């Protein structure tokens, strides 16, 4: 059974409004018609995921690393210890090119590490990756 992109929710966890708008435009341009939900930090994201009504299955997560209250690595630690969230498909989308950040993120079983390039093409490439991924992978 092939996944249906129209039903995929994209949870964007990012405190930067400009980046969130860029992701929204890129998802629209890529043809990914899934719902986009925004959380401004890890704590808000955990609440949205745990309430079960705002972010519904299937979903993909785009996670920034540098955020207030609960950053991306802290979110990953919490999500991977949660019996319900531990299998969530999470892509990191960040400005950090630091090898230490990449290593720490991959230690928490992320699906991929994408560096924000700051250009429209960079965001469209990331959105196209999500579209292709969701069209061939059966999401939990």
Report whether pLDDT(135) > 50: yes
**For 47-68, what is the mean pLDDT?**
92
pLDDT band at 6 (very low <50, low <70, confident <90, very high): low
The answer to whether position 92 is within a domain reads: yes
The answer to whether position 108 is within a domain reads: yes
**For 117-139, what is the mean pLDDT?**
84
Please, what is the end-to-end C-alpha distance for the chain in angstroms?
13
More confident residue, 114 or 122: 114
The answer to whether position 139 is within a domain reads: no
For the chain, list the strands marked E by DSSP.
9-13, 35-39, 59-63, 89-94, 112-115
47/24 Cα distance (integer angstroms): 21
CATH number for the domain spanning 37: value is 3.40.50.2300
The pTM assigned to this predicted structure is 0.91
The answer to whether position 140 is within a domain reads: no
Number of domains in the chain: 1
The answer to whether position 26 is within a domain reads: yes
The answer to whether position 65 is within a domain reads: yes
- Helix/strand/coil for 11: strand
Cβ neighbours of residue 119 closer than 8 Å, sequence gap 6 or more = none
Task: State the average pLDDT for the chain.
Answer: 89
**For 37-50, what is the mean pLDDT?**
96
**Structural domain harbouring 90:** 5-134
36 by Cβ neighbours in 10 Å (0-12 / 13-18 / 19+) ranks as middle
């Amino acid at each position: 059974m092939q996944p249906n992109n129209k039903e995929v929710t994209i949870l964007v966890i990012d405190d930067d409004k400009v980046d969130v708008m860029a992701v929204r435009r890129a998802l629209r341009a890529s043809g990914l018609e899934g719902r986009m939900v925004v959380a401004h930090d890890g704590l808000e994201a955990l609440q949205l995921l745990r309430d079960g009504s705002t972010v519904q299955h299937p979903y993909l997560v785009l996670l920034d690393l540098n955020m207030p209250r609960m950053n991306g690595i802290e979110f990953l630690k919490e999500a991977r210890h949660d019996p319900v969230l531990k299998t969530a498909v999470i892509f990191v989308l960040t400005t950090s090119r630091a090898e230490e950040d990449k290593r720490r993120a991959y230690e928490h079983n992320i699906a991929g590490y994408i560096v924000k390039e700051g250009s429209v093409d960079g965001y469209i490439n990331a959105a196209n990756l999500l579209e292709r991924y969701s069209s061939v992978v059966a999401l939990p």
